[in-house]
Chain A
């Protein structure tokens, strides 16, 4: 199974990457659990591939300017396109996903994520920005026809030092819940269609026939 992690943190180290790593650990731990109910899908995760968008920032900008992705960005696009599941983590800037995060998904083919299980998560300085996940990030993936797990994980600065309270789960519990949801989806879905090596082409007679005026 191919798990790909897309993280848009800008500093190094970044709390966005920290959240991505915790989510990845929780998901791979569950997938490896021999007690977990067996599904129809091969559960062994090939080492999760982490795509740090910071390293691709210039390549993404160049793809906009030139109209094509260079080989480094192409490799990242191919990895996401061929993934069985995705963990996508962004910092929240100005009430939404970061520009770099959106730009990366803009250079993907608009069908690349169709039907793919995606866990969305975000970081921010204050918990006041947490609903950006529901109002900005989730609609982005809905547009791309991905299957987004119900729990979106937001980590505010204070979450790294606090636990649950009487009203909400702590960050640890939310990570586990989201990981469980993604694992369930991954284990009970058919593996994604691999990127087609041979291009499928509609035979010309069919293309022509589709244009004949109705008799």
Chain B
């Protein structure tokens, strides 16, 4: 029943003290909580769970495919993804292998979002140079793209040891590589990269005013059309968002404020009210969240995936699960209905393994027909000559 726009969660996986109780969960508790949250996401009817990748405290998800593989075994419909996979410092060969493996185990319920990460020391820890961030993202992905599409790869580049006659195993499920999103907060080069390949572009849509993301998404849509993948409106766009809800908006504000005020990313800075005015953060009633999220479509055009950041800043698991109940019962059903209204037929649904497989089968059939036609034509020509 995954249709049109996909709704889901993306988690940073931070271990943060609950400022209202002074209690910090253990890493073990946090990892188990991420699993519980993912299972809850499927239970309340969400479509996607995406995990971050970090290699330093206070974050736990250093091994995304291990986490996602475990979740895959305990879910039926949920699409498992990342936000983001570090295309800069991971070996693209290992990414190709890990995610193809996950794809087989999860029955195709896998896609992946490429990103560069925002922790400077990760580059030297993995033997790379942060000044090469963009070139690493470009070269590593170019290799990954080939490893999933060519059975035998000869390759030589700047950043990795060359490959001769290399086959990445397992091959992607049914010959269909996982769909790829490229996430970027500020780099037009990454929007250009996503457009070039006809991949998806994801704007985290959390920290900056909307005008900032509008520029990037506009660029991506224009370049997507430039490279012949479709019209600008057919480009595959994903957005982040950040919400906290209670039945009454005053209750939501009162409950969330202590978490907001000391949150690791933006705490000790602007007031909650200022931050809500300047960024897409919405703290209020379910209706306010619905209204704000519907505006995203006006700002960015019809899009394919909406992910919410729900489990961060020390919010206790119980509260997060309550938030997911509200999201699944009161918000997402309305958003699905509203997003479907007036959505042009030519705007594609969010890509899934099934839709990509269908497209591949259709393309293969066309190719076979064309080949047959060409052969026939050749024969005819020969006959004509003979005649």
Contact = CB atoms under 8 A, between A and B. Distances in A.
Most chain A beta-carbon neighbours within 10 Å: one of B138, B209, B278: B278
Contact of B207 (A68, A208, A213): A68
Interface of B: 134-135, 138-139, 142, 156-158, 188-189, 191-193, 195-196, 207-209, 212, 215, 219, 223, 265-270, 274-275, 278
Contact of A211 (B135, B195, B196): B135
A61 B269 contact: yes
Contact of A66 (B158, B196, B207): B207
A135 B134 CA distance: 36
A202 interface: yes
Contacts of B156: 213
A212 B159 CA distance: 11
Contacts of A210: 135
B209 A71 contact: yes
Contacts of B207: 66-68
A64 B270 CA distance: 11
Given A65-B269, A70-B270, A208 B138 contact: yes
B138 A207 contact: yes
B209 A201 contact: no
A129 to B, nearest CB: 32
Contact of A62 (B138, B209, B212, B269): B269
24 contacts: A62-B269, A64-B269, A65-B268, A66-B207, A66-B269, A67-B207, A68-B208, A68-B209, A68-B212, A70-B270, A70-B278, A199-B215, A199-B219, A201-B191, A201-B223, A204-B193, A204-B195, A205-B196, A207-B138, A207-B189, A208-B142, A211-B135, A213-B156, A213-B158
Interface of A: 61-62, 64-68, 70-71, 74, 199, 201-205, 207-208, 210-213
Contacts of B142: 208
Contacts of A205: 196
A81 to B, nearest CB: 15
B373 to A, nearest CB: 32
A64 B266 CA distance: 9
Given A68-B207, A199-B215, A213 B157 contact: yes
Nearest to A206: B192
A201 B191 CA distance: 9
Contacts of B191: 201
Contacts of B275: 66
A211 B158 contact: yes
A203 B195 CA distance: 10
B229 to A, nearest CB: 13
Nearest to A68: B208
A71 B139 CA distance: 36
